[in-house]
Amino acid sequence: MASVSTLGIGSGLQLSDILTSMQTAEKAALTPISTQQTAFTAKLSAYSSMKSALTTFQTANDKLNKADLFSATKTVSSSTAFSATTSTGAVAGKYTIAVSQLAAAQTLTTGVQTSNTTALATADSTISIKLAGSTKAVDVKVTAADSSLTGIRDAINKADAGMTASIIKTGDGSYRLSLTSDETGVDNAATISVTGDSAVQSLLAYDGTAGGNVTESVTAKNAQLKVNNVDIENSSNTVSDALEGITLNLTAETSGTQSLTITKDTTTASSTIAAWATAYNALQDSLNALTKYTAVDAGTAAQDSSNGALLGDSTLRSIQSQMKNMLTNTASTSTFKSLSQIGITTDPTSGKLITDQTKLDAALAKDPDGIKAMIIGDGKTTGITTKLATNLTSWLSSTGLIQAATNGVSKTLNNLTEQYNKVSDNIDATIARLKTQFTALDVMISKLNSTSSYLTTQFATSSSSSSSSS
């Protein structure tokens, strides 16, 4: 079959140009489909951008949607001998603290041995370690072959007996085994009994009294302190149950009675609210970019190419509208019902939030619980951030609005692809058919031209012969 470039050579007709023009005309039917494919592909990308923007705002909303944010406190200690941390339930006020004794962990030290690697025993032994506050001892098995200080140390540490063993080198050829309770307090003081080899028994046996080869290098102690002149004893230097919501961290004994002051701390709540408003504005910028519209002159058919891919999109409009309606809490149990009451107003033109930091800080200082009632609500169904959190989770879920819209666009794109391929195949078939017909026409006209030329030549020859005879 003749190629397109050779069509018409035989007939002298512009068949190649005609076929190319017809192919161009046929392919014009693909342009509207391609235009739709481009638009829907852009829309698919825009939904992804929308989802990303909402996810970013969701992070900021989750940070604000925490009840303990509004009950935060800060602590000031008059002494470096103790510090404090607070949690939910801490009551602002001033407390007196006097620490007379720190909690300590017991340390037991054996007598001196000349080697840390030489086995001490000729028979297997069992070392039983019992903590004062426990009803059961932990048995540590030691074989004769592993009865050196190093072997005993490793066996004790593997047994999780409540004590940690280590070897102290006190000089050349002088080693001692040291055992320290893992926790402070008298309940973690240990007694040690040994069955089996007498050498191991002589080394480690300790019944809690003076004498023998084991020395109590550090005596187990409980922390002793007074809080508001009330005596408190605790096994640990971290005292979490003396004052509700307040944990005392003891580091030294105090010089007399010191003070601990707990005050409300609204700085974190203030910065979190301001960051939330900034995140909301960033979200609006993203959504507005996706729905951007540039006006065109009347009568112009084509819209501006810079228009947002989701211009007029019902899913985006619905989410944006719902979020705007959630910025108030008329069901709040406090006097605060809207953000404007705490210094956060809405720009009527852009829809963005404007934060008056001075007014916000003043409102938080005066009534943080009231603001919490408006913003958090009951944490389940009421409250600005609570409602936003619920809806954001729904919108962003695998069965939410955005995914449903995305699925719809993907389905349309698949249909357009099928439509494009079908139309393209029909065009290719049409052009192939025309090319076959044009080729046949070219051959036929070429043959006719050849016949015509032959007959013309024959007539001319015959006429010439006749003229010569006469």
Q: Where are the domains of the chain?
A: 1-72+265-293+305-454, 73-102+223-264, 107-218
pLDDT in tens, 239-263: 999 999 899 999 999 999 999 999 9
Strand partners, 194: 127
Kindly report the average pLDDT of the chain as a whole number.
88
Q: How far apart are CA 309 and CA 39, in angstroms?
A: 7
CB 233 within 8 A of CB 218: no
DSSP string, 86-152: E-TTPPPEEEEEEEEE--B--EEEPPPBS-SSS---SS-EEEEEEETT-SS-EEEEE-GGG-SHHHH
Question: How does residue 414 score in pLDDT terms, banded at 50, 70 and 90?
Answer: confident
Q: How far apart are CA 41 and CA 417, in angstroms?
A: 11
The HSE-up count of residue 62 (CA atoms within 13 Å, CB side) is 8
Is the pTM here over 0.75, yes or no?
A: no
What is the pLDDT at residue 296?
57
Q: How far apart are CA 236 and CA 222, in angstroms?
A: 7
Q: What is the mean pLDDT of residues 389-417?
A: 90
**CA of 133: how far to CAs of 104, 188, 206, in Å?**
15, 6, 17
**Residue position matching structure tokens 């290098």:** 217
Decide which of 187 and 29 is more confident: 187
CB 25 within 8 A of CB 265: no
Q: How far apart are CA 34 and CA 420, in angstroms?
A: 8
Strand partners, 226: 98, 231
Q: How far apart are CA 251 and CA 244, in angstroms?
A: 20
Q: What is the mean pLDDT of residues 335-364?
A: 94
Query: How remote is the C-alpha of 382 from its chain's centroid?
Result: 26
Q: How far apart are CA 135 and CA 138, in angstroms?
A: 10
What is the pLDDT at residue 188?
97
Question: How does residue 6 score in pLDDT terms, banded at 50, 70 and 90?
Answer: low
DSSP 8-class letter at 353: E
Q: How far apart are CA 302 and CA 285, in angstroms?
A: 25
Judging by DSSP bridges, how do beta strands 107-109 and 174-181 pair with one another?
antiparallel
5 pLDDT higher than 90: no
Q: Which of 81-85, 208-212, 461-465 has the lowest mean pLDDT?
A: 461-465
Q: What is the mean pLDDT of residues 373-385?
A: 94
What is the pLDDT at residue 305?
59
pLDDT in tens, 97-124: 999 999 999 999 999 999 999 999 999 9
Domain 107-218 maps to which CATH number in 1.25.40, 2.60.40, 1.10.357, 2.40.50? 2.60.40
What is the pLDDT at residue 29?
79
DSSP string, 144-183: GGG-SHHHHHHHHHHHT-SEEEEEEEEETTEEEEEEEESS
Closest Cα to residue 66, out of 392, 383, 393?
383
What is the pLDDT at residue 1?
46
